[in-house]
Chains A and B, each alone.
Chain A
Amino acid sequence: MKISNLSFVRFFVSLKLTVVCLAWLFVITFLGTLDQVQNGLYASQQKYFTSFFFKAGGFIWLPGAKLTMMILFVNLLAASKRLFQWRWAKSGIFMIHAGLLAFFVAAYTTYVSAVESQITMVEGESTNTVQSVTEWELAIWRADSENWRSVTAYDISRADIGKRLEFSKWKLFVTVEEYLTNSMPMVNEQDKASELFFHAIPPAKNPEENQPAAILSVKDANNKTHRVSLFGPDSGGIKLSDNNEQTFFIELRRSRRLLPFTLALEDFRHEFHPKTSIAKSFESDVVIDEGHGARPVTISMNKPLRAADFTVYQASYGEDRSGRETSTFAVVKNPTRLMPYIASILTTAGLFLHVLILTANRRFRGSPT
Chain B
Amino acid sequence: MPIGIHFFLCVLVFLIGGCFDQKEPREYREFSKPPEAGIHLQSASDGAHHEIFDLPKVARVEPAVAVSSDKLKLHIDDVWSKQSPVWYKAPLAQMSISTFKPTMEDTGVRVTFTVLSGSGGGTKENVTRWIRQLSHLVVSEARIASFVSELETRTSSSGLSFTLVDLTSFGSRESETSMLACVIYLGDQTLFIKLSGALSELKDLKDIFIAKANATAEIKTQDENQ
> Is A59 in contact with chain B by the CB < 8 A criterion?
no
A197–B55 touching, CB < 8 Å: yes
> Given the known A-B contacts A226-B54, A275-B104, are A237 and B38 also in contact in the complex, defined by CB atoms under 8 Å?
no
For B, the interface residue count at a CB cutoff of 8 angstroms equals 73
A264 and B31 CA atoms in complex are apart in Å by 11
Q: Total A-B pairs in contact (CB under 8 Å)?
A: 229
B28–A231 touching, CB < 8 Å: no
B38–A322 touching, CB < 8 Å: yes
B32–A3 touching, CB < 8 Å: no
A152–B25 touching, CB < 8 Å: yes
The smallest beta-carbon distance between B110 and chain A, in angstroms, is 6
Which residue from B10, B17, B119 sits with its C-beta under 8 Å from A187? B119
| Nearest B residue (CB) for A163 | B23
Interface residues on A, range: 35 or more
A144 and B28 CA atoms in complex are apart in Å by 12
> Given the known A-B contacts A73-B14, A239-B50, are A158 and B41 also in contact in the complex, defined by CB atoms under 8 Å?
no
> Is B21 in contact with chain A by the CB < 8 A criterion?
yes
Give the chain A neighbours of B61 by CB distance below 8 A.
Answer: 199-200
B35–A188 touching, CB < 8 Å: no
Give the chain B neighbours of A169 by CB distance below 8 A.
Answer: 27
Give the chain A neighbours of B23 by CB distance below 8 A.
Answer: 154-155, 158-159
The smallest beta-carbon distance between B51 and chain A, in angstroms, is 6
> Given the known A-B contacts A129-B30, A321-B40, A322-B41, are A235 and B3 also in contact in the complex, defined by CB atoms under 8 Å?
no
| Nearest B residue (CB) for A187 | B121
> Given the known A-B contacts A74-B7, A78-B3, A184-B117, are A197 and B56 also in contact in the complex, defined by CB atoms under 8 Å?
yes
> Is B143 in contact with chain A by the CB < 8 A criterion?
no
A239–B32 touching, CB < 8 Å: no
A153–B51 touching, CB < 8 Å: no
B29–A184 touching, CB < 8 Å: no
Give the chain B neighbours of A116 by CB distance below 8 A.
Answer: none
A218 and B55 CA atoms in complex are apart in Å by 13
Question: Can you list, as one digit per residue, whether each of A183-205 has a CB less than 8 Å from chain B (1) or not (0)?
Answer: 01111110110111111110000
> Given the known A-B contacts A126-B33, A149-B29, A149-B32, are A318 and B93 also in contact in the complex, defined by CB atoms under 8 Å?
yes
The smallest beta-carbon distance between B3 and chain A, in angstroms, is 5
| Contact residues of A between 311 and 327, Cβ < 8 Å to B | 316-324
A262–B62 touching, CB < 8 Å: no
B6–A81 touching, CB < 8 Å: yes
> Given the known A-B contacts A78-B3, A321-B46, are A148 and B31 also in contact in the complex, defined by CB atoms under 8 Å?
yes
| Contact residues of B between 1 and 23, Cβ < 8 Å to A | 2-4, 6-7, 10-11, 14, 17-18, 21-23
Which residue from A82, A228, A234 sits with its C-beta under 8 Å from B46? A234
Question: Can you list, as one digit per residue, whether each of A117-137 has a CB less than 8 Å from chain B (1) or not (0)?
Answer: 000001111111100000001
B32–A127 touching, CB < 8 Å: yes
> Is B52 in contact with chain A by the CB < 8 A criterion?
yes
The smallest beta-carbon distance between B48 and chain A, in angstroms, is 5
Give the chain B neighbours of A153 by CB distance below 8 A.
Answer: 25-28
> Is A330 in contact with chain B by the CB < 8 A criterion?
no
The smallest beta-carbon distance between B193 and chain A, in angstroms, is 15
> Is B187 in contact with chain A by the CB < 8 A criterion?
no
> Given the known A-B contacts A226-B54, A237-B49, are A77 and B26 also in contact in the complex, defined by CB atoms under 8 Å?
no
| Nearest A residue (CB) for B60 | A200
**Interface SS, B side:** loop
B7–A149 touching, CB < 8 Å: no
A235 and B43 CA atoms in complex are apart in Å by 11
B31–A192 touching, CB < 8 Å: no
> Is A206 in contact with chain B by the CB < 8 A criterion?
no
A70–B14 touching, CB < 8 Å: yes
A82 and B33 CA atoms in complex are apart in Å by 60
B30–A239 touching, CB < 8 Å: no
A141 and B42 CA atoms in complex are apart in Å by 23
| Nearest B residue (CB) for A155 | B22
Give the chain A neighbours of B38 by CB distance below 8 A.
Answer: 322, 324
Give the chain A neighbours of B29 by CB distance below 8 A.
Answer: 144, 148-151, 258
A239 and B51 CA atoms in complex are apart in Å by 5
A70–B27 touching, CB < 8 Å: no
Give the chain B neighbours of A228 by CB distance below 8 A.
Answer: 52-53, 55
B33–A147 touching, CB < 8 Å: yes
A4 and B21 CA atoms in complex are apart in Å by 36
Give the chain B neighbours of A324 by CB distance below 8 A.
Answer: 35, 38
A322–B40 touching, CB < 8 Å: yes
> Is A12 in contact with chain B by the CB < 8 A criterion?
yes
| Nearest B residue (CB) for A120 | B94
A185–B116 touching, CB < 8 Å: yes
A129–B32 touching, CB < 8 Å: yes
Question: Can you list, as one digit per residue, whether each of A145-181 has a CB less than 8 Å from chain B (1) or not (0)?
Answer: 0011111111100110000011101000000001000
| Nearest B residue (CB) for A178 | B58
A185 and B117 CA atoms in complex are apart in Å by 7
Which residue from B27, B28, B47, B119 sits with its C-beta under 8 Å from A189? B119
Give the chain A neighbours of B99 by CB distance below 8 A.
Answer: 319
> Is A236 in contact with chain B by the CB < 8 A criterion?
yes
Give the chain B neighbours of A237 by CB distance below 8 A.
Answer: 49
| Contact residues of A between 203 and 230, Cβ < 8 Å to B | 211, 215, 218, 226-229
> Given the known A-B contacts A178-B58, A234-B45, A236-B47, are A147 and B93 also in contact in the complex, defined by CB atoms under 8 Å?
no
A198 and B59 CA atoms in complex are apart in Å by 8
New contact pairs (12) apart from A319-B94, A324-B38, CB-CB < 8 Å:
A78-B3, A112-B17, A126-B31, A126-B33, A129-B28, A150-B30, A231-B45, A233-B45, A233-B94, A258-B28, A277-B90, A321-B93
